[in-house]
Structure 1
């Protein structure tokens, strides 16, 4: 059962393979670049290697950002749909009063406590961590990025 303590998610291939390897390659290329700068030997090749390493390091970071931004859009749509199903009214008025981090946290609340938590989050300005800790009936999400 998913809850506050175990809801964080890592994608092992991204977090523990690709990103660390590209970071190591970037560090290695920086070391080689400084070595070439001090000796003057192979400087052009090391600049080329460094440029490639920077590009390769940025690719997994950018793909992660793109995935998370897309996920945020989906969460907003999901919350709009859930709110409409529960109340018959649009979520947009409430949505304007909430930060994205609050909306993301609220998505874990079950339908029975969602409306109350939305009101509390707006009234008390709850942080996402506080919202998640307040959830009693956790709605699992094992498909997120």
Structure 2
């Protein structure tokens, strides 16, 4: 494997970036072209273009769904790491008792408040929104998408 540098650091998924998306974009353009240049079958080309647009839209939305799912996994990993750093214990038992909303909300608390709010969330089953409202010293997350 090559050593990564500026020239080769980008990663493309060839079937998606170089086959699927160009093909769908071409078909969309072709359909729109035919709408204006084939008056006999104009309705068919409108339907064709609408279907291709929906396929393109679905492809974009699936990518967004994957990105959000991955981001949620990273939030969980951050919780595990932070819990381990603060308590020197694995977080498996605690994490089972919390839902994702609670875990995500705890990210906004600094360490001293994190401990208190975690205990409170476990005892009183605070919602993620209640946890956020309880934070007095907000720890901003400027990297969430």
TM bucket (normalised to shorter chain) is 0.5 to 0.7
**After the TM superposition, which parts of structure 1 deviate over 6 Å for at least 4 consecutive aligned residues?**
none
Q: Which residue of 1 aligns with 2:17?
A: none
In structure 2, runs of 5+ residues without a counterpart are 1-31
Provide the rounded CA distance (Å) in 2 between the counterparts of 1:94 and 1:86. 13
Trace 1:1-145 onto structure 2 (pairs within 5 A). Answer: 41-145=41-145
Provide the rounded CA distance (Å) in 1 between the counterparts of 2:125 and 2:57. 37
RMSD: 2.3
Provide the rounded CA distance (Å) in 2 between the counterparts of 1:111 and 1:137. 10
TM-score normalised by the chain length of structure 2: 0.68
TM-score normalised by the chain length of structure 1: 0.68
Choose 1 or 2 for highest CA Rg.
2
How many residues align? The count is 110
Provide the rounded CA distance (Å) in 1 between the counterparts of 2:60 and 2:106. 28
Deviations 1:11-59 (A, max 9, x none): xxxxxxxxxxxxxxxxxx9xx9xxxxxxx95232122111112123223
Provide the rounded CA distance (Å) in 2 between the counterparts of 1:131 and 1:144. 18
User: How many angstroms does 1:62 deviate by?
Assistant: 2.1
In structure 1, runs of 5+ residues without a counterpart are 1-28, 33-39
Provide the rounded CA distance (Å) in 1 between the counterparts of 2:98 and 2:136. 20
Provide the rounded CA distance (Å) in 2 between the counterparts of 1:108 and 1:60. 30
Deviations 1:54-91 (A, max 9, x none): 12322332222111111111111111111111011111
